[in-house]
Structure 1
Amino acid sequence: MHAAANRYPATATPILTVYHGEMGSSAQVDAHSHSEPILMSSSTATLAVLSRARDWLVPPGYGLWIPGGVEHAASALRAGEVSMIMFAPDRCPIAWTEPTGVPVGRLLRELVAHLGRVGADHPSRPHAEALVFDLLTPLPAHHIQVSMPTDPRVKAVAERLIADPADQRELAAWADHVHTSVRTLSRLFLSETGLSFARWRTRVRVRAAVQMLANGTTVDAVARAVGYRKTSAFIAAFRRATGHTPGTYTHAGTAPDLP
């Protein structure tokens, strides 16, 4: 990860360090833990974060809170800009005990960027930090979870679909691609993600669609971008997955609610 870091005196602020920069597609962070909680968030990258409890995907517009002491590893499935904030354990007002997904909208991104630029004694700092903590809210209970498989064959397929949700290849073509049988690949998807291939791919497509809709892309354009030839089929799949129509997410500034 190529990043600029701003470090602050240990007694000056609940925020110890702010990193911001590019994470390359081959970048990896080996499993480790530390006493300080952190917030990893993405502007344009797609990250895979592994903990003992579960694996997380962190696409653009989202973040992951990792409490102190929780072992985790990370890698970039798609290169792009990422940020990381490290907090002082004894001064941080957030006490979540498990990794927790959060939406990261425009205001929160700008606040993180601002805190990365200014010093610990900057007059705006107390107000900016307070607003950061106010904006850090867990994703709603009805969010869509997309589990990442670990078997190399099914993981290879999953990473390709996350990078390009519009890929139209069906299970037989993917089985040929990873040199296994359709039956084996189907079984692996179900055992490793809890979903069939078709349902897992739909979740990936819907999650990718939410960010595009929140950024102002039209429903028709989003449908095509995530692999639906007919907008009506996209709307039906979106409603089944979220309980809402895509139009619910098209208002400017709407925070996405899918991890």
Structure 2
Amino acid sequence: MWTLSRIAVYPIKSLDPVYLEQTEILPGGALSGDRQFALFDQADNVINAKKYPAIHRIRSQFDIANQTVTLSSTETSPEPLRFHLIEERTELENWLSVYFHQQVTLKENSESGFPDDLEAPGPTIISTQTYEELARWFPEITVDELRLRFRGNLEIAGDSPFCEDRLYSATDSQVLFQIGPITLAGSNPCKRCVVPSRHPITGAKDSDFMKTFIRKRKETFPAWAPIELFQNMYRLAVNTRLTRLPDKPSNIIRAGDLIQILP
């Protein structure tokens, strides 16, 4: 039996995570508070780590209850500064504009957030066993650092590396599963970009990371996994979508909830 062991949300897209003991699922399928805010450049394009490596060097601490964020970076002022995400948005945007050397706008979507996969905007899922296997591939990278590189939402205590790949199918039939009271459908293995190859604090890129990952993924690919969905092997974790939302307060998931694949 699998259990939910860790919940991570990223209140501002591409910045640091907040780890929670419980959270609610929004009607659109996202976790409450996850990617609720995103940064946009002067051309109104999203500022993310894929396009802006400098974002790795911003440290952020969130107080979700009080809607504040504390930012620091040695490239601007080493002294941390706290901003209210609503009441001090102009001051926050000014700090970010100085950092990125252009006008930055902070936008909010409290209903669905700003997911990467619009077809599967639910939480991404990965197992602790998978992170531990990756740490064997990359002995110089700890499991905690891998969490920051791959930025999954829900971490499960499973039974083997890549066991989360059982949560989707190459056929038209969806794989449905429950986490606590919530029913989700697995969509596809998550496509990866350049971000996991960078150090999550400094932004320094490891040019061999992707090649090593693809080689080891091929070598260890489970016989039962749907290889048809792997156009290349640079994929990790599971994208999901919500299929059924129970009435409040039953739309809350908690660390320790059981995960059950439905028939």
TM surpasses 0.5? no
Bigger share in strand: 2
Bigger share in helix: 1
TM-score, reference length from structure 1? 0.32
Q: Choose between structure 1 and 2 for higher RCO, CA contacts under 8 A separated by at least 6 residues.
A: 2
